[in-house]
Structure formats: C-alpha cells, structure tokens
Chain A
Amino acid sequence: MKCEQYQDLFTDYINKQLPAADKAAFEQHIAACPACAKELKAFQQVWDVLGEVTIPEPSADMPMRFNAMLANYKASVTEEVSVWDKLKGQWQQLWQWQPRWPMAYNLAILVVGLSAGFWFLNGNKNADSEKMKTLAAEVHELKQSVMLSLLENPSASERIRGVSYTSEIKHADKEVIDALFATLNNDPNVNVRLSTLDALAGLANHPEVRQGLVQSISQQDSPLLQSAIADVMLKLQEKSSVGSFRELLKQKNLDKGVKQKISKTISKLI
C-alpha cells in the first residue's frame, strides 16, 4: 500500500475502529515511515484537543421543562378522547388541588356548569345523566372540602369566605357542622364568629345545630356575639335556650346592654 492509503486509515486508527487485521500492517508501516508517523501525530493531536473542548452544563430545569411539555402534549392528545372523559380528567385534577387551592371551588362550579351544558345538549343519553349525578355528588364533596380548608386559613377574610360557602352546601354533614361550631366557639376574630353564627342559623333545620347553638351561648364572651345569638334564638323560637341565657345572666362582667337584651329575649321565649 502507498502512504496515502495508510493515511486514509488515520482517523479509524485513532478512533480505535480499525479492524485488528489492518491494525498490525498499519502499525508496521508507521514504525518504518517517518513521514506518516509525523502526520499521524498531528492527527492524533487534533483529535485529542477536540476532546478538551467541553460544553456548558445544561440547565437544571431541563427535566422540569420536559415534564411541562409532556403534560401539555398529553392534554392536547386527550382532545381526541370524548368530551366527557376530558371533563372527568379536569375534574380529577381539581380534586387533587383542592386542599391548597380555594380557587378550585370556583373552577369546580365552572366544570359543573360546562358539564351541565354538555349534559343538556346530550340530554337523551341516560348513561351521561348517571355520570352527571356522580359528578354532582363529587362537586358537593369538593365544596365541603374547600370550605373546610378555608376555615383553617390564617386570614380572617378567607375564613369568612369559607363560612359563606355554607349557603351553597345543600346537605351539610356532621363534619361541616362541627367545623362551623369550632369556628363559632374558638375563632379569635369576632367578625368571623358573627358570620359563622349567621351560617349556622341558616342550618337550624338540623336539630344538632340548634342544640349546638344553645350550648355555644355560655362560650361567647363578646357582647356582639352574645347579643347576636340572642336574636337568632328568638327568631328560631328556641325555648331550650332559656336555661343557657339564665346562666349567662349570672356572669358578673356581662355587658349592661346585653343583659337587658337577654332578659327581654327570655321573656319573649317563655
């Protein structure tokens, strides 16, 4: 072979891709030919220096960006799936958010609205109406969860917002009622307690709510609350509250105005 032909093998040799059979002959020639040896050395240098070139570290947020892209892509793919399944998917997402995101409540209302519209347009499908019922039940559950989480919010206005959701819960269960009473009896903010009293008055058709309100009378130390609770009892004509009011009257530091109001309330109840 001529020198030129050996030189065509330089890259393969450096790259360790030269077959063993050719390698022996190649090395033999290099050992015997100073010109090729010199040229090979130059090639080797270029190859080695190329290896010194490093690249900047890729950004650490690359996996995060990938995940976002994947989520986006998946969302676009589900459009091919039925509208119903899509709604259901969004719904499940909301469900995962709700403990931390009171906003999910509003979104839930939106989803229900959309679903209702969808259901209306396809109203003849029994299967969908079954699904609507399930969804409605789930929304109801969500409303409750949002409300409960709002009641634990450090901001008083958020707690008031949570309390106000009570009016949208048709069938408040024990968990909701207990949470409202815990707020009524322990919340440090008078305004929150007043709104809670208002919300509970709206649930007075539940016997345990009436009972709880009566028990709460002795726990209130704010004149505003004491007076408001007297109004509620009068409105509800809750005669069983009389005993609690009499107890309250025994308190030494009771506000004068409240004292008068309670006495009046008792006389109207009996």
Chain B
Amino acid sequence: MLTDNAIMLKVKEGDLDRMGLLFERYHRQLYGFLFHMTYKKELAEDMVQHTFYKMLKYRNSFTGTGEFVHWMYTVARNVLKDEYKKMKRAQLHDDVDNISDILPGGVHTGDMYDKKEAARGLHKAMEKLSDEQREILTMSRFQELKHQEIAEILNMTEGAVKVRVHRAMQELKSIYTKMES
C-alpha cells in the first residue's frame, strides 16, 4: 500500500485521480474535526469538499517533508478561517439546541442517561470555549493527534501545545462545573 505522502506526491505530479484514495482514507476524520469546529453537519461536509478542492488546487505547496495529514489539517484550518469570516459565530452555532441529535442514542435510564445528560452539558460547555481552545481540544481528544503532531499543524512548539491543551481542559471543566451548579 502506498503511503499518504507517496500518493499526494503523485497528485502533485498531475495524477489528480489519486486524490480519491486520500479522500477515502481521510474524509471521515476530517469531517469529524470540522463538525466539532462548527456543529453543523452540512457545513462540515461542504468544508470537507472544500478542503479537498484546496488541496488539489494548491497541490504544489505540498512538499512531502511533513506528513500529509498535517498538511491536510493546515488546509482545513484555512477553510475554517474563511468560513468563520463569512459567518458570525452566533449564526454558526445557532443550532446547538439540536444537540440531542449528536449524542449517543440509548435508553433513558441509569448510567446511559447520566452520560448522555453529561455529554449534552459538556457539548454546550465546548461551545463556550474560544475557537482556538475548541480546536486544540478537538485535535487532542477527538482526532487523537499527538502533541507533536498538533505542534506541527499549529506551527508551535510541543511545549506550547501541552500548555494549551491543558488550559483548554481547565477552562472546559470550569465552564462545565458552573453550568452544573
């Protein structure tokens, strides 16, 4: 099996169809990231397409020195930035009340119910984080990226990532605790 980087380099050389392979491999992961950053399914899906479009268009900026995934996140973050510019955050998050749609299903009893309730609350708390904090927490918690990988994507030191993830967690916990009480 070809590595992501080898495939992307072929795309860069003009074999555009190969991008399909990378789409297959990463569109769900990317969707997950963009969903957490917008909480809008359709918007997140559109942004996945847009990210892949930009990767095609700016394929020459892929050097192959770093991992493809990191470059993908960099492109996705630019798409996200453009989107944030277009929409005010208030509008972006106006359907947060539909949060039950995005929580795990299950019977409304016992532990399941509590977890569901808790997740609902946490999700609302996530909303209250700054975009930067939500982004770094999403990468760390949902995308399960290593600090070193996040450092590469966000173009900062590993130490800075550590501190920021932790601060985001502290902030989330404190917002959550306030909401609970």
Contact B16 A53 (CB under 8 A): no
B174 to chain A, nearest CB (A): 10
The 8 A CB mask of A32-65 against B (1 = contact, 0 = none) is 0000000000110111011111111011001101
Residues of chain B contacted by A59 (CB below 8 angstroms): 41, 45
What number of residue pairs across chains A and B have CB atoms under 8 A from each other?
Answer: 107
A43 to B177, CA, bound (A): 11
Closest residue to A65 on the B side, CB-wise? B49
Contacts of A17 in B (CB 8 A): 146-147, 162
Contact with A along B2-43 (1 / 0, CB 8 A): 000000000000001101100110011001100110000100
Contact with B along A75-97 (1 / 0, CB 8 A): 00100000000000000000000
Chain A CB within 8 A of B140 CB: yes
- Determine whether A8 belongs to the interface, using a CB cutoff of 8 Å to chain B: yes
Query: Are A70 and B20 within 8 A (Cβ)?
Result: yes
A134 touches B (CB below 8 Å)? no
Q: Mark A241-253, 1 if CB is under 8 A from B, else 0.
A: 0000000000000
> Given A46-B172, A69-B53, are A62 and B116 also a contact pair (CB < 8 Å)?
no
Chain B: minimal CB distance from A44 (Å): 10
B166 interface residue (CB < 8 Å to A): yes
User: Are the CB atoms of A56 and B28 closer together than 8 Å?
Assistant: no
Say yes or no: B23 contacts A52, CB within 8 Å.
no
- Per-position contact with B for A107-130: 1 when CB-CB < 8 Å, else 0? 000000000000000000000000
Point out the residues of chain B lying under 8 angstroms from A51, CB to CB: 141
> Chain B residues near A70 (CB, 8 Å)?
16-17, 19-20, 56
What A residues does B173 contact at CB under 8 A?
42-43, 46
By a CB distance below 8 angstroms, the chain B residues around A66 are 20, 23, 27, 49, 52
Is B69 part of the binding interface, using a Cβ–Cβ cutoff of 8 Å?
A: no
Q: Which residues of B contact A62 (CB under 8 A)?
A: 27, 31, 45, 48-49
- Residue-wise, chain B 39-66 has the 8 Å CB interface mask toward A (1 for contact) of 0010011001100110011000000000
Minimal beta-carbon separation of B81 from chain A (angstroms): 21
Contacts A17-B146, A49-B122, A77-B16; A56 near B101 (Cβ below 8 A)? yes
Residue B154 interfacial (CB < 8 Å): no
A148 to B176 CA separation, bound complex (whole angstroms): 71
Q: Do B116 and A52 have beta carbons less than 8 Å apart?
A: yes
Closest to B141 in A: A50
Instruction: Classify chain B's interface size.
Output: 35 or more
- Measured CB to CB, the nearest residue on chain A to B104 is A54
A10 near B102 with CB under 8 A, answer no
- Flag whether B115 is at the interface (Cβ < 8 A): yes
**Which residues of A1-39 have CB atoms within 8 Å of chain B's CB atoms?**
8, 10-12, 15, 17
CA distance A164 to B142 in the complex (A): 64
**Closest beta carbon of chain A to B75's beta carbon, Å:** 14
Q: B141 touching A8 by the CB < 8 A rule?
A: no
Q: Within 8 Å of chain B (Cβ to Cβ): is A260?
A: no
Q: Are B166 and A12 interface neighbours, CB within 8 A?
A: yes
**Smallest Cβ distance from B32 to chain A, in angstroms?**
6
The contact sample of 18 A-B pairs, CB cut-off 8 A, is: A10-B166, A10-B169, A43-B169, A43-B173, A46-B169, A46-B173, A47-B169, A50-B126, A51-B141, A53-B102, A53-B119, A55-B32, A56-B41, A58-B45, A63-B27, A66-B27, A70-B19, A73-B57
Residues on A facing B (Cβ under 8 Å): 8, 10-12, 15, 17, 42-43, 45-47, 49-56, 58-59, 62-63, 65-67, 69-70, 73-74, 77
